[in-house]
């Protein structure tokens, strides 16, 4: 009998001790698996640096099987935090996660070079090798990029707002993302993500390279109902590694940007395939509406872009196959020759207030752009070109950074300029100058195997 009583007491003591050692679980509602961050030592006064407290809460929550960490009304200041498997951050509509303005509070878990050679990779929120993770709620994540920049001379630590590295099943719903130090939302080698109803505001006049959504060497991604106003490219699909970006669908988005709205590349060492973009509205955009760039050896194929409206762009459609052949990560080897662009269909596009040219398509000698079909395209361009403009011969610039303006401000056609293309098909393409223009509507050089209706 004495042995039985002692054993019972020991078991009870161990159970009590186990509960005492689980502070995060103590704040968790067992029926809904929701944790109130403020009950676990996180302070929403806008001044207390919460990096360690939030990270411990994430670590503890993931360790017990996951849950939702809720941030109620308040301002929660933090440096880099790493999201772990099974954890979702819920930011209430009156709550803001604030990025620290001290560069020392940020970490870079995956350094790489962007297309311009800048060292990139630090982030406010990052997840690495995590599954079933996400962020939800109608609150705000504010990187305080301008204040962070003001505290650095030069501005070297330029954190992304959110990064997902080699993750699976990521979910982002209705969150407001603003003021990043660099890109707003970045996915690298991630399989499975839904980005729905996200609002992005990254158009800070004094900052550069503030992209909206960057999908890099990732697959099975769906972007829906997003509202993006970005300083740099808005929705960008890249490959900084040789792993492809594939099975991507973006639909029903509103886009405005200083640069390009929907862009493939420039970083393009891996392939791009099975990608669709539809039902998007592009306004007040400084460069191009739709851009397909393969300049580092990757292949772009099986692309369908449809039902796009544009108002106020420089060039609605630009396609570039080039021979820059850069690498972006330590140890990678450059591709030996340009890739390909083929099986691309762009349809049901209307564009007005176009400032430069309607459609610009360029390969390089020996490496033509492949089969492209343009259907039901109506573009109204500014016009006003002269006979001297029509005589301009454009340079090849095979190794240059690709952009609509790379060949100069003066173009020999107002509507369509295509060069080095093997398979261009046009159905119901209308190119209209608003001012009298002495240039032809269309210039085709080394273009074959296409049809026109």
pLDDT, position 113: 83
pLDDT at res. 315: 98
Residue 20 lies in a domain: no
> Does 264 reside within a domain?
yes
pLDDT at position 414:
98
The answer, yes or no, to whether residue 152 has pLDDT greater than 70, is yes
Domain that holds residue 113: 30-452
Segment 216-223 shows an average pLDDT of: 98
Q: 96-110, 199-213, 274-288 — which is least confidently predicted?
A: 199-213
* CATH code where residue 238 lies: 2.160.20.10
- 166 close to 188: Cβ distance less than 8 angstroms: yes
pLDDT at 28: 40
Return the pLDDT at 450. Answer: 63
- pLDDT at 109 (0 to 100): 94
**Is 21 inside a domain boundary?**
no
Q: What percent of the chain has pLDDT over 70?
A: 92
Number of domains the chain contains:
1
Rounded to whole angstroms, the Cα distance separating 342 from 322 reads 14
Residue 394, in any domain of the structure: yes
SS in 3 state form for 299-350? CEEEEEEEEEEEEEECEEEEEEECCCCCCCCCCCCCCCCCCCEEEEEEEEEE
245 in a structural domain: yes
Least confident interval from 1-10, 65-74, 402-411: 1-10
If you average pLDDT over residues 259-263, what whole number do you get?
Answer: 98
**Chain position carrying tokens 């954890």:** 87
* Per-residue pLDDT, 13: 33
pLDDT (tens digit, 9 = 90+) per residue, 302-325? 999 999 999 999 999 999 999 999
Contact between residue 417 and residue 411 where contact means Cβ atoms under 8 Å apart: yes
Which of the two residues, 401 and 11, has the higher pLDDT score?
401
- Mean pLDDT across the chain: 92
Q: Does residue 4 form part of some domain?
A: no
pLDDT for 205: 73
- Per-residue pLDDT, 158: 94
Nearest to residue 182, comparing CAs of 149, 154, 148, 208?
A: 208
Angle in degrees, CA 235, 241, 247, rounded to 5: 50
User: What number is the average pLDDT over the span 212-218?
Assistant: 98
CA 236 from centre of chain: 5
pLDDT digits 0-9 by tens, 352-381: 999 999 999 999 999 999 999 999 999 999
Residue with tokens 């083929």, as numbered in its chain: 342
């Amino acid at each position: 009998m004495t042995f039985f009583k002692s054993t019972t007491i020991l078991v009870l003591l161990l159970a009590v001790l186990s509960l005492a050692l689980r502070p995060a679980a103590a704040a968790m509602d067992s029926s809904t698996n929701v944790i109130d961050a403020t009950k676990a030592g996180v302070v929403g006064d806008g001044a207390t640096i919460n990096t360690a407290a939030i990270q411990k809460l994430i670590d503890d929550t993931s360790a017990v099987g996951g849950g939702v960490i809720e941030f109620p009304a308040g301002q929660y200041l933090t440096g880099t935090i790493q999201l772990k498997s099974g954890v979702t951050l819920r930011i209430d509509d009156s709550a803001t996660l604030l990025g620290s303005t001290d560069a020392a509070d940020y970490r870079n878990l995956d350094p790489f070079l962007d297309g311009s050679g800048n060292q990139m990779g630090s982030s406010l929120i990052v997840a690495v090798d995590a599954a079933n993770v996400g962020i939800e709620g109608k609150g705000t994540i504010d990187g305080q990029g301008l204040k962070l920049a003001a505290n650095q001379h030069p501005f070297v630590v330029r954190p992304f707002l959110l990064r997902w590295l080699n993750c699976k099943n990521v979910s982002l719903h209705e969150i407001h993302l603003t003021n990043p130090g660099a890109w707003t939302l970045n996915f690298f080698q991630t399989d499975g993500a839904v980005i729905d109803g996200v609002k992005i505001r990254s158009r800070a006049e004094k900052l550069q390279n503030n992209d909206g959504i960057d999908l890099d060497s990732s697959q099975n991604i769906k972007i829906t109902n997003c509202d993006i106003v970005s300083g740099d490219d808005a929705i960008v699909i890249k490959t900084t590694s040789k792993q492809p970006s594939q099975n991507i669908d973006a639909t029903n988005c509103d886009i405005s940007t200083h640069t390009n709205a929907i862009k493939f590349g420039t970083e393009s060492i891996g392939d791009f395939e099975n990608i669709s973009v539809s039902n998007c509205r592009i306004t007040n955009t400084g460069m191009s509406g739709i851009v397909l760039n393969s300049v580092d050896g990757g292949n772009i194929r099986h692309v369908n872009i449809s039902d796009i409206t544009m108002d106020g762009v420089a060039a609605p459609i630009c396609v570039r196959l080039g021979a820059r052949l850069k690498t972006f990560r330590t140890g990678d080897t450059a591709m030996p020759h340009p890739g390909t662009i083929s099986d691309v269909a762009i349809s049901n596009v209307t564009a007005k207030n176009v400032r430069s040219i309607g459609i610009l398509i360029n390969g390089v000698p020996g490496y033509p752009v492949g089969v492209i079909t343009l259907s039901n395209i109506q573009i109204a361009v500014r016009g006003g070109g002269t006979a001297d403009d029509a005589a301009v011969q454009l340079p090849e610039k095979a190794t240059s950074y690709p952009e609509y303006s790379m060949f100069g401000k003066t173009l020999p056609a107002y509507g369509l300029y295509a060069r080095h293309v093997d398979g261009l098909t046009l159905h119901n393409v209308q190119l209209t100058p608003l001012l009298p223009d002495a240039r032809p509507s269309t210039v085709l050089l080394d273009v074959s195997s296409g049809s026109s209706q």
